[in-house]
Amino acid sequence: MPFNLKGRHFLSMKDNTAEEIDFLLQLSIKLKQDKYAGLRGKNLAGKNIALIFEKPSTRTRCAFVVACVDEGAHPEYLGKDDIQLGKKETVKDTARVLGRMFDGIQFRGFKHETVEGLAQYAGVPVWNGLTDLYHPTQVLADFMTVLEVKGRLKGIQFAYVGDGRNNMANSLMIGAAKMGMDFRIVAPQSLFPSPELVKECREFAHERSAKITITDDIGAGVKNADIVYTDVWASMGEEEQIPERIKLLKPFQINRSLIDQTENSECTFLHCLPAFHNCETKLAKQFPDICEVSEEIFESRHSQVFNQAENRVHTIKAVMVATLGK
């Protein structure tokens, strides 16, 4: 059954039904097939898209740009030093100006209230490309990858291991609850998600017979997992906390021993990227124990991280086409 998302924002997925999420995933799969078949759409022809970035990005920025160009739209990158937002101009005024000029707005930044403010005042669809609290477009790519690898979402045993209160943990918990998964957050107690969000997700979960478990017991948390997922131990803006996070999260590193504890030889490893998995980057040289995943697992047959990264473009395209397309 088709769902009409025209004119809607995409901010946290809390206000999306399971059917709408499924619709976006099916559209992503179709758009991927079309691209592989050499069929280019013109679903966003003549549209102008603003891409606001307060934080850096490789995947999200490139996915929005490529998706726009594939569908005939013009993307305009607005970096943190390029516009007045937050320095000389309020969110409300920026939203009203950009909304007069652009047909859709992507925001990546710090406060979730900023993307909510843009959505409230812009008068055009606003898409959240990551805030401190949520990263919903990433979850669509993650779930598309799960569908490709496992063929279903409902009942999938999904273990998120690491910083249990960051934007990825929050958004995966929302999405998993909506899609009927057996979802676990495996983290030290000091990094458990907020009880308010867990309560809200358990309400979503109830409607879809999903299960939400929050535990610091690694063995129990990953047992029988179909998917093991992790993210960096310190998110953008939390760099000062790296030494403390390494101490807390070292036992939660995804390595051979943890994968063996799933007791599922077919378990899939996912990561939103960027990932620390060896000592080749600047920060990893400074903090040699920073790796949330071992090189062995990152490069193993379990890992689907580059398919997942590619799926950012197909899922972001689906969000723009569904909310803005002709």
Enumerate the active-site residues.
108, 135, 138, 231, 272, 312
Torsion of CA 316, 111, 208, 162, to 10 degrees: 90
DSSP of 18-54? HHHHHHHHHHHHHHHHHHHTT----TTTT-EEEEEES
Amino acid type, 62: C
Under rule CB under 6 A, residue 166 binds ligand CP: no
Cα gap 37→139, rounded to integer Å? 25
Q: Are 212 and 198 in contact (CB under 8 A)?
A: yes
Which residues are 51's β-sheet partners? 77, 106
Q: Which does 235 bind (CB under 5 to 8 A by kind): ligand CP, ligand NVA, none?
A: ligand NVA
Q: Which does 94 bind (CB under 5 to 8 A by kind): ligand CP, ligand NVA, none?
A: none
DSSP-assigned letter for residue 324: H
Q: Give me the residues that bind ligand NVA (CB under 6 A), please.
A: 130, 135, 166-168, 231-232, 235-236, 272
- In the bound state with ligand NVA, the residue whose beta carbon lies nearer, of 86 and 274, is 274
Kind plus residue range of the DSSP H or E element containing 298 = helix 295-298
Under rule CB under 6 A, residue 281 binds ligand CP: no
- In the bound state with ligand CP, the residue whose beta carbon lies nearer, of 86 and 274, is 274
Q: Which does 281 bind (CB under 5 to 8 A by kind): ligand CP, ligand NVA, none?
A: none
The sheet that has 211-215: what strands, in order across it?
211-215, 182-186, 157-161, 227-230, 268-271
Question: Residue 161: which of 132, 191, 182, 121 has the closest Cα?
Answer: 191
- In the bound state with ligand CP, the residue whose beta carbon lies nearer, of 47 and 59, is 59
Determine the 3-state secondary structure of 270 from DSSP. strand
- In the bound state with ligand CP, the residue whose beta carbon lies nearer, of 58 and 190, is 58
Under rule CB under 6 A, residue 273 binds ligand CP: yes
- In the bound state with ligand CP, the residue whose beta carbon lies nearer, of 130 and 172, is 130
Kind plus residue range of the DSSP H or E element containing 282 = helix 282-286
Window 31-70: contact mask with ligand CP (x via CB under 6 A): --------------------------xxxx----------
Under rule CB under 6 A, residue 149 binds ligand CP: no
Q: Which does 58 bind (CB under 5 to 8 A by kind): ligand CP, ligand NVA, none?
A: ligand CP
Q: How far is the CB of 106 from ligand CP (least distance, A)?
A: 11
Residue numbers of the site for ligand CP (CB under 6 A)?
57-60, 130, 138, 272-274
